[in-house]
Structure 1
């Protein structure tokens, strides 16, 4: 219905206005908001005034705009009700079901990577690991990804950063291959690495090409759920 369509468009425009702000922006002028959202100034002003009524935006004395305190409250509510397991575990089960490989989420603990969540492959031959197991950071794709996106001077860092993922075959164990991508929180802060593992025979070039889009999609979905940006701004 036209009324519903107009309502959705208005919401999308309001969201685009809020998303125009980045961590580097204390405030933005009306013209800059118009440029970033690709909306005319009159539309931006109308939306900004509406958002200001609920304190989602505030207008400065110089007529520029900044994010308002209502967003802080909403963010606090989201953080207090966010339960990682409720999102991560179904996602890992989906990845494992689609790729038929074991899926896991790793985070950094000092000079190790620790398995935070895991879902085993349905196949009889699979990588055996448990939640809480710790592995070296410089062996295996998840560790390499964590090192690269955490700013360490890792030899492969530039290559991994440019590509956005990494694959290893037999690096930590000759019988294990892994494919991993970064997961972000709070913008571009690294949270950990989402990885698939299995025998090297099931991680040939063609199979990696099949698994990679599924893995990247999962990493992006998890990043968004944690308030992260999968792509650089």
Structure 2
């Protein structure tokens, strides 16, 4: 039987209540009233009031002119430390390298960049004949698989139309090139971009793409899980409501 906050040692109980207050803030919240924090945490109002004093003193919360609570500058400082420590390439590059090792084709991550798509990370194919580009290359939002994925999927796995994932296209940007793509998500459900496998049409054809389908699915799931976006990725696999 799990112990609730009331049965825990005093120090741990207070720590868990403090974490409950901080974690009740959700994406999109600018400020929360005392009543709303009490409702979300299901803590006693006097407990929230007492613990909020410590959070205000330490900079984890601030109060605005209306008396409502906002996340404070200490949260931003810790987030910066976390972001710097968790450099995405430490997670992304090994996944891309694994795809290249298993398929011999070029693996990359494309993100939406205004009205274009931008190659953010890439591991090139070892073959002399292949699709070789560099991070920072910009491509049009045409009918290539990565462009379709970036247009169709948004945060939290939301999508406009049902697409069989991974999506395979050939001859869209280059008559001799083919690609297959699948969305990847990160913490908070935000869409990171499209995980792409690309190669020449004579090697990466529809039959070969079908053989790589499970590999692409498992790679995108693994990466999304490592970045904190597993739930959003799983929603992306479902048909839109």
TM-score, normalised with respect to structure 1: 0.63
1:1-233 equivalences under 5 Å are 14-37=18-41, 39-41=42-44, 44-45=48-49, 47-59=51-63, 64-78=68-82, 83-96=87-100, 102-109=106-113, 111-120=115-124, 127-132=130-135, 133-149=137-153, 158-159=160-161, 167-172=167-172, 173=175, 176-183=178-185, 192-197=193-198, 199=204, 200-204=206-210, 207-222=212-227, 230=232
C-alpha distance in structure 2 between counterparts of 1:196 and 1:158, whole Å: 23
Work out which of the two has the higher radius of gyration on C-alpha atoms and give 1 or 2. Answer: 2
Q: How far is the alpha carbon of 1:215 from its aligned partner?
A: 0.7
After superposition, the CA RMSD in angstroms is 4.5
Q: How far is the alpha carbon of 1:19 from its aligned partner?
A: 3.3
Does the 8 Å contact 1:164/1:182 carry over to 2?
no
C-alpha distance after superposition, 1:30-86 (max 9, x if no partner)? 44334434x433665565444333110235687643212222333445566775544
Structure 1, unpaired ranges of 5+: 152-156
Q: How far is the alpha carbon of 1:24 from its aligned partner?
A: 3.3
Q: How far is the alpha carbon of 1:167 from its aligned partner?
A: 0.6
Query: Any idea what SS the aligned residue of 1:176 has?
Result: strand
C-alpha distance in structure 2 between counterparts of 1:195 and 1:97, whole Å: 14
Go from structure 1 to structure 2 and tell me whether the alpha carbon gap of 1:11 and 1:118 turns closer, same or farther (over 3 Å shift): farther
C-alpha distance after superposition, 1:70-103 (max 9, x if no partner)? 2233344556677554443234334545777642
How many pairs are equivalent? Answer: 214
C-alpha distance in structure 2 between counterparts of 1:183 and 1:197, whole Å: 20
Structure 2, unpaired ranges of 5+: 236-241
TM-score, normalised with respect to structure 2: 0.62
Query: Any idea what SS the aligned residue of 2:119 has?
Result: strand
Q: How far is the alpha carbon of 1:221 from its aligned partner?
A: 3.4
